[in-house]
Every structure is written in C-alpha cells, then in structure tokens.
Amino acid sequence: MTIDPSPSLFDAPIAAPAPAVDGDDRTPLLPVRHPNQDLFICDVLDAIPKDDMASMEHPVFSLSTKPDNRTRRYEHNGNVIEIIPSGKGLATIHDKDILIYCISQLVAKMNQGEQPSRTVRLQAYDMLVATNRQTSGEGYRLMADALTRLRGTTVRTNIQTGGVEETRIFGLIEEAKITRKTFDGRMLDLEITLSDWVYRSVISKNVLTLHRDYFRLRKPFERRMYELARKHCGVKDEWKIGLELLQKKCGSNSPIRVFRALVKKVCEHDADHGHFPDYAVTMDDDVILFRNRSGLKSKPDPVASAGDDAPYIDPETMHDAKTAAPGYDVYALYDEWVSWWHDMGKPELKSPAGAFLGFCKKRHERKPLR
C-alpha cells in the first residue's frame, strides 16, 4: 500500500463530536446517552449495526477532527482508491455513523425477506438515538454537516463490491433530502440515497455486524482499529498485525514513534477498562494482537448439532442473535428454535435468518436477562 503525502490524521485532538465529560480522567467509552433506545426504534433488528466490508478494509474516512481537505490515494494488492474532498472536507469516521445506520436498515429488511431500495427513509431522531448521538439542536446540526460531507466526498476506485470490479467515481451517498422539519427548522424525516457501490455491498451481503459500543468509542483511531479487527479477526480466536501495516491500513502519516505511542495507549486503556468492543487488544514488540472475547470459534456448528435438515443460520446471524437476546446462549436458543420448527411441521421459511432473530427477540422481550 502506498499513501500520498498529506497531513497526519492524528495531528488534531482525537475526540468524539460532543464528549459528555471533559478532562484527562475520562473513561475510554462515551456514556450510553439513550439507555432505553429500543423503546424508540421500531424493531430491535433495525438497531443491529452493520458495516460494509470494503470501507472496513480500506481507509476511506478521515480520522481527523479538523477539516481534512487533502486528496488521498491508496494502493494495495491491486486495489486503488482516491478520496477527494469537497469544500467541507473529507467525510469523517463519525460521519460514517449515518452510512452504518442506513446499511443496518437495509439488512434488516433483507432479513425480513424484502428487497430493499437504495433510498432509505428514516426519522432523524431514531438515527441519533441508535448511534448514541445527542438529540439536542447541536446533534441535528452535526448530522446535517455530516450529510453534506458524505455527499461531497468523491471516491475513485477499482475495488470490487458484490464480485464486480470496475473503476467508479461516486459520492458516498448520492442524495440526502429532508422531507419534514419542525417549526424551528430541525429535520424530522429524511430520505438518503446510497451510492450504487455501497448498495451493491449490502445486497451482496458483504457486511459485518458491529458491536453497539462502537458508537461509544471516543477516539476515531479506536473506531478504525475496531473496524480492522472486526474485518480480519471476525469470529476467529485471534488476529495479529504488525505496527507498520496497521499504520498503513489506518491511513496515518504520523512518525512511527507517534503512532506506536497511540497504539500503546489504546492497549493500556483496554487493559485497565476492557472497553474495546469484541476483542482484547495487546501489543508486544510492534505486533498488535486482537483476541476474541466471546470465543465464538470454539462453539459447535449449530446446524451440525441440530441435524442436516435444520435451517442454516450463518455465523453473522448468530452474532446478531446476541444483540437481539442479550445475555442468552444463542446456540441454546437455536436448538429451541429448531425444535419449534420441527413441531410446527417444518414450514417453509421465507427468511430463516429473520425468523430466528425474531424468535430471539421475543424470548428476550418475555424474559430479559439484563
């Protein structure tokens, strides 16, 4: 991978858009601003965050908290990507929250057996709540700025999405339209049309589930580290990466000693707080190790244990089930669901994934464990 010269993405103070607490003794995670968020989301399945694998693999989004107005170019393993800012600067990794929310909505529709369109209709308040953002006037203003940067940032790439490789030039979103406002000008209802590149990733299911605490990470750098761990480690027991390669994948031009100090600080915070989602992160001799906290790899194949005729549930859906029924053993729930399916006469399922997640959701509603 080669990176064109540009200012360090870490020159600016790294912080979330609107931290709730100031000072050096802050915890690494933002507070849960909406502890009862499921009351405000139409369906818990809609709240399972999903991200597209192409942008998780490549550093598309700026990690700077200051306007980033430099064109950047990356090359790696035959993939070429150029990110060109608008007058408002490059889209940031916090702006990506909007894309993640939209992708999550589309995947939820697919899990329910629907064929979603590129245009996502949503309520601005729901998106702010689901992504742990402020719902004050400032929260709406920041979201409007984010939409502007997402629409203005131009990507030129030959990266495949959905098994198709072609050179494309596009914005991260094609259009954003505010369809209803309050009397004081706040947006209520939105229509966001995704780029065909992003949409193709979704319908090809080139997406991965994100831990909900992703939206609580204060530092953009930690969000980027988590994306890479989620993409490369996934449900495996562990994943290692060298410091220099991690630096390239993050898109940093900081001196290696500065980058090393940043990574070391993340590891120290995780050792003290265990805050890093899904994975424990450590560093030894410039090698960063991510260990899966849940140990999904050691779990048995649910289909093999339930019988060959049981509906197949892929590992990502099993991961989603942990969100739909927090605290439950999702493999035990799968066995119960298959038994119910047998008792019902093995009905044809339009969407096995959606049916299983719905089962998990209802079990959690009847008897929440936390």
Which token pair is 196?
């065909």
CA separation (Å) from 167 to 82, 156, 196, 215, 342? 11, 7, 13, 32, 48
| CA atoms within 13 Å, Cβ hemisphere of 122 | 26
CA 33 from chain centre, in angstroms, equals: 18
- Check whether 245 has a pLDDT greater than 60: yes
By mean pLDDT, which of 24-33, 130-139, 198-207, 302-311 is the weakest?
Answer: 302-311
Q: Give the separation between CA 98 and CA 133, rounded to whole angstroms.
A: 11
pLDDT tens per residue, range 255-281: 999 999 999 999 999 999 999 999 999
Q: State pLDDT tens for residues 64-84.
A: 888 899 888 888 777 788 999
99 band by pLDDT with thresholds 50, 70 and 90: very high
| pLDDT band with cut points at 50, 70 and 90 for residue 368 | confident
Q: Which residues of 44-60 are buried (b: 16+ CB within 10 A; e: fewer)?
A: bbbbbbbbbbbbbbbbb
Q: What is the mean pLDDT of residues 91-112?
A: 91
Among 206-215, 222-231, 305-314, the least confident range: 305-314
- pLDDT exceeds 50 at position 39: no
CA distance 284 to 343: 53
The two beta strands, 173-181 and 187-194, are antiparallel
